[in-house]
Amino acid sequence: NMPFLQKQLIILIVILINSINIGTNPIELTETQLIYNTTMDEYPKLRNKLKTGKQQSKIEKRFLSSSFNNNRWIENIITIAGGNGKGNQSNQLMFPQGIYIDYDSQVIYIADSENHRIIKWRFNNTNGEIVAGGNGKGNGINQLDSPKDVVFDKKSNSLFICDTENRRIVQWFNQINKNPQIITSDITCWSIKIDRKNNLYVSDYEKRQIRRWKIGENPRTDGILVAGGNGQGDRLNQLAFPTSIFVDQDYTIYAADGWNNRIMKWIKDAKEGIILAGRNGKGDGLTQLHFPQGLIVDHWGQIYVADGANNRVMRFSNESSYGVIVMGGNGQGKKLNQLIWPSGLSFDREGNLYVADWGNHRIQKIRIN
């Protein structure tokens, strides 16, 4: 008879060989186990090990179904601004777009687009306060016309605003005795951001480009081209209707390329971008986008996208082209887990995500797990 220790050694070797095979061979699970037990976060790593494309398709359909998404995040969602119907009262918004969180002051700035104003809404308040515009639609120095984005600059204690239909960038000071000033004109701005060196970045969707200015220097100049600017197209050095942008600590520029239905990244001084998400054309699959118009990147490099025409917010990790639905994806509607053309995105210091729910005239806050 074989000695006991020798038997145990053989068993251990067999277990080790089987564990190696599990990592390389197709997973031997029943179709029901695969479809109903796989989570969205596990799926990108699991996908290449699945036995058939049919299994992959069924799992993806489950992730996109309303029954899966209805309860995924809903307990973490609240309305923090607006949500009282479309209107111009202090507790209402009308097609809000860009948003900016000033966590030190516990406020959110909102580009209240069709009210032609910028609203400052304090956390936990039921009403907002007009801090720019609000004097009717127009091109006067104290007026705005369909502003799409806003950012607050602490150094100058002022707001920089995409005054989109007036084709200009304006700086609006918090000091009562200081008039707004035009930073540059002849620009159709969708998104505006500031980096840690106090440079201003602006996406111009008509010229299909992103430009940079140094705040406080050379006002009314054309700035420096940093992405796109090679005509409309889908090559790596082109953009087609750039919408939202984001700039990280390394001065890398991320851009939602609306008509190309993709997310691009330009490393500092690069002549071409890199496609990060949306490589498979327009659609509502987990690897697809349909006119993305909001974008932000968290501290771990995960990309959050307001996937406008799909009425959802997606999250993409660095390792995978597959996204995870973190909000919406349940058709257009007014429920907490529904969106209508989401636009601006922003984080607070606690990692809560804020979403401008454009068609529902509200700002939603979601705690991300």
Report the side by side order of strands in the sheet with 362-367: 77-82, 362-367, 352-357, 342-347
> What pLDDT digit, counting tens, does each position of 312-332 carry?
999 998 767 889 999 999 999
The pLDDT of residue 26 is 42
The pLDDT of residue 366 is 92
**Phi, psi for 86 (deg, rounded to 5):** -75, 130
256: which strand partners? 263
- The kind and range of the H/E element at 64 are helix 53-64
The pLDDT of residue 55 is 54
Mean pLDDT of 236-247: 97
Whole-angstrom distance, CA of residue 262 vs CA of residue 255: 9
The pLDDT of residue 35 is 43
Nearest CA to 265 out of 287, 295, 299 is that of: 295
How far, in whole angstroms, is CA 331 from its chain's centroid? 18
> What pLDDT digit, counting tens, does each position of 291-315 carry?
999 999 998 899 999 999 999 999 9
The pLDDT of residue 305 is 97
Alpha carbon distance, N-terminus to C-terminus of the chain:
55
Q: Six-digit token pair at 206?
A: 């008509």
Question: How many other CB atoms are there within 10 angstroms of residue 285's CB atom?
Answer: 16
The pLDDT of residue 68 is 43
The pLDDT of residue 279 is 85
The pLDDT of residue 27 is 42
The pLDDT of residue 52 is 53
What pTM, to 2 d.p., does this model score?
Answer: 0.82
Q: Six-digit token pair at 260?
A: 């190309």
**Phi, psi for 68 (deg, rounded to 5):** -75, -40
72-367 is classed CATH 3.90.105.10: no
SS3 label, residue 348: coil
> What pLDDT digit, counting tens, does each position of 122-161 carry?
999 999 999 999 999 999 999 999 999 999 999 999 999 9
Share of the chain above pLDDT 90, in %: 69
On the CB side of 273, how many CA atoms lie within 13 Å of its CA? 30
> What pLDDT digit, counting tens, does each position of 7-55 carry?
566 666 655 555 544 444 444 444 444 444 445 555 555 555 555 555 5
The pLDDT of residue 70 is 43
The C-alpha angle with vertex 312 and arms to 284 and 169, in degrees rounded to 5, equals 110
Token pair 């032609």: residue: 116
Q: Which of 59-63, 102-106, 130-134, 171-175 has the highest mean pLDDT?
A: 130-134
